[in-house]
Structure 1
Amino acid sequence: MYGSFRVLLQVLSAQLLCVWVLGSELTFELPDNAKQCFYEDIIIGTKCTLEFQVVTGGHYDVDCRLEDPEGTTLYKEMKKQYDSFTFTAAKNGTYKFCFSNEFSTFTHKTVYFDFQVGDDPPLFPNENRVTALTQMESACVSIHEALKSVIDYQTHFRLREAQGRSRAEDLNTRVAFWSIGEAIILLVVSISQVVLLRSFFSDKKTTTTRVGS
């Protein structure tokens, strides 16, 4: 019983360590004509993955740029809705990635990104040992991998739900304005028709001119 509880604590600790050390995940507002940059210190030889998606705003597109510590562009895309880029750090230092909405004049965007640095640490300190894992440890590793997949699926489904809700709200607003416009046009046309019909049946006043002798 104590051994199973200890293994469970190791699984939870490793899960928290992955979230704390390896990932930078954020959803932020990007105003129109604005640019937002983020920085990450990376050691040479570390494998990294940058994934982003525009959740709401305009045509759901944004400019993205990734630079190494010397300012060399590693990745650059214009007006992308979503994308993923994986690279291995060739230099030690601070890497910068920026999202730009400078091409948009009126609409602000909501952007989600996930920047993963390095590989997951081993679930158990002696996972790379020569001897095989016990049945309990193997089950924990399988559960750990399945939980990571569940987290990824949940994140993507939340993003799709937020994007779909934004599209529905935008469509609802357009339909509401269109209905109000149609009602105003119908009212103006009705009043115009009533005035026009009354002008047809109104009595015309005749003007009499008296010629003096």
Structure 2
Amino acid sequence: MKFILFSLILFTLFVSKINTITITVPPSSKECIFEKIDKRTSVTLLYQVVSGGGMDINPEITGPDGIVIYRRDREKEGKFTFLSRTTGIYKFCFGNEMSHVTSKQVNFDLQFSGGHSNSEIAKKEHLTPLENGVLELQEQLRSILSEQRYLKVREHIHRNTTESTNSRVLWWNFLQTFLLIAISATQIIYVRRIFERRRRI
């Protein structure tokens, strides 16, 4: 019973808070998400452009003091982890300024590992092997969840690519069929005119 209670306490203390969000960023604009984060919280941003144009985006993270923590240009996907230095509102933005026509759909995760480090909650030498095993299992579960979300987004991207390719092949076949009919009709008309001229002669 003690172990179950201890495991539940550890789970609530150590488990990551995960927010999976999908946003659409209109052309020539920037969309931002604001999140209040406690001091000394490990924050991980995972992002992927799911659809739109060149499948690229400008991600940016700004701290409460206005200092840019992370910025990249024309990224298709990425991952960035940082430790918050102060408590406050952090800004996570995705810019689509480079595109003037197409919107971009971005799927991203914000993962937070509580505002306390493991050493503050319990020193490793005070944990039993079983408790250490629970912590390791919890880390592996986080990794599996993150990988599942990543694979789900990749599957969505590949499905969009396949559907787009199928659509292009279909339209190309229609165009080829139309051209074949048009060329055949032109040849028939041309041959008829040749025979009609010969009859007149």
Q: What is the TM-score normalised by the length of structure 1?
A: 0.77
User: What is the percent sequence identity of the aligned residues?
Assistant: 28
Aligned length: 199
What amino acid is aligned across from residue 87 of structure 1 in structure 2?
Answer: F
The structure having more radius of gyration, on CA atoms, is: 1
* 1:119-156 Cα deviation digits (max 9, x unpaired): 58789xx7537544153x34433332322222122112
Going from structure 1 to structure 2, the CA distance change for 1:122 and 1:76 (only over 3 Å counts) comes to: closer
Cα 1:16–1:107 shift into 2, 3 Å? farther
Residue of structure 2 in register with 1:37 after alignment: 32
State the partner residue of 1:117. 112
* Cα distance in 2 between the residues matched to 1:27 and 1:155: 12
Confirm or deny that 1:160 pairs with 2:154. yes
Q: Distance in 2 between matches of 1:44 and 1:36?
A: 25
With over 3 angstroms needed to count, the CA separation of the structure-2 counterparts of 1:175 and 1:98, relative to structure 1, is same
Which structure 2 residue ranges, 5 or more long, are not aligned? none
User: Do 2:32 and 2:91's aligned partners in 1 also have CA atoms closer than 8 Å?
Assistant: yes
1:98, CA displacement in angstroms?
1.0
| DSSP-derived class of the 1:69 partner | coil
Q: Is the CA contact 2:45–2:79 (under 8 Å) kept in the aligned structure 1?
A: yes
- Offset from partner CA, 1:70-114 (integer Å, 9 cap, x none): 322222222110122233334432111211223223332221112
Partner residue, 1:14 = 11
> 1:159-178, aligned counterparts within 5 Å?
159-178=153-172
Contact 1:18 1:120 (C-alpha < 8 Å) held by counterparts: no
Whichever structure has more helix as a proportion of its residues is 2
Distance (whole Å) between structure 1 residues aligned to residue 114 and residue 174 of structure 2: 55
* CA RMSD after TM alignment: 3.1
- The CA distance in 2 between the partners of 1:132 and 1:118, in whole Å, is 19
The aligned runs of 1:63-212 (5 Å cut-off) are 63-119=58-114, 127-128=122-123, 131-133=126-128, 135=130, 137-203=131-197
**Residue of structure 2 in register with 1:210 after alignment:** none
